[in-house]
Structure 1
Amino acid sequence: MYTRFNASQSVELAVPEERVPIQHYLRQPRRLVNALVDRSRTEQLSDDCFRLKMRSLQFMMLSIQPTVDMRVWAQPDGTINLESVACEIRGVGYINDRFALNLKGQLCVQQKSSRVTYLKGKADLEVEVELPPPFWLTPKPILEATGNGLLKSVLLSVKQRLMHQLLLDYRRWASSETGIISSDIPQILSVEG
């Protein structure tokens, strides 16, 4: 029985003004990947492709650990695009052979006034999987609600890490680029989800 799960997450956050604009920082996809996922769980495959080893996830009585190959590239205006290009589920061969993951995301810079810059982004995650026979007796609405909830929690976790890590890393990077050290902690002005 094939089942499809979906989730979307958006984010908008204010970027504190630094001497080096955030667009320059975002032209380095590796920095964004490090803000999204702990460095110990990433491997750079090429200039714009990264392998992300996700934490184990619990879906009903299954424990799965996805490994996602993600293409991350910057456009000249500083917009970052993310797209999954491959996925492997470790530990459950049956699921791995019948599993498709599609993740697309974008993070762009918006100048709302001469002094306020925002990062605005959205990620869409879809999983299609043929569940093993024991799940066939579970009502489809329960499976879908559980799967959609799991994907939403994954995206929410990524969003929270992005909101905290990206701005902190940008602040450190801008200070090192200009030789200025600031003790201010970046403030997040607005978030939507």
Structure 2
Amino acid sequence: MPANAAVRDYLLTRRSVGLAFLQEPGPDAGQLKTLLTIATRVPDHGKLAPWRLVVIDGDARAAAGEKLAQIAKAKNPAIEEAALNNERRQFLPAPLTIGVLSTAQEHVKIPQFEQLISAGNVALNLVHGAYALGFAAQWVTRWFAYDETAAAMLGARPGERFVGFVHIGTPTAVIEDRPRPDLDAVVTRWQG
């Protein structure tokens, strides 16, 4: 396979863009289908497809946020209104959020951990796919990914868990790069 300088340069410079800096327009129906196709082209030992995707867009964004605020209020009746407003905006202003669920199951040959990693790759491919289509993205995992009531409200079935939510939209700002790990600190060479 020949070298692809454009892909290399993209991977060397890719940067998440926070939810607050994502706006309309988001992907149209055709772009969304392409994005979902890109997302699901991941390593998947055994062809199990051990993941599912939940699309949150349009009016569903505010509705999901309102339900999160209700759950937060039920769990903490003393919660302040400002915090409830933050919950209401969990899927705003980005025009599209895709929740990635791990559906890992017991398998005679393929560990659940390996299946979970495959779901993580779906989330990362969503980020890369968004950029390939001219958008920006941020992959986050917040309290509602771990809270059973909230996760179920957002579409998790029994035995499933969210590995994250990928917010996608048109960036309103150029985000400066952050310091990256020193390779000498994170890479070792096996010596036998």
Q: TM-score range by the shorter chain?
A: 0.3 to 0.5
Q: Which has the higher helix share?
A: 2
TM-score, L = length of structure 1: 0.34
TM-score, L = length of structure 2: 0.34
Q: Which has the higher strand share?
A: 1
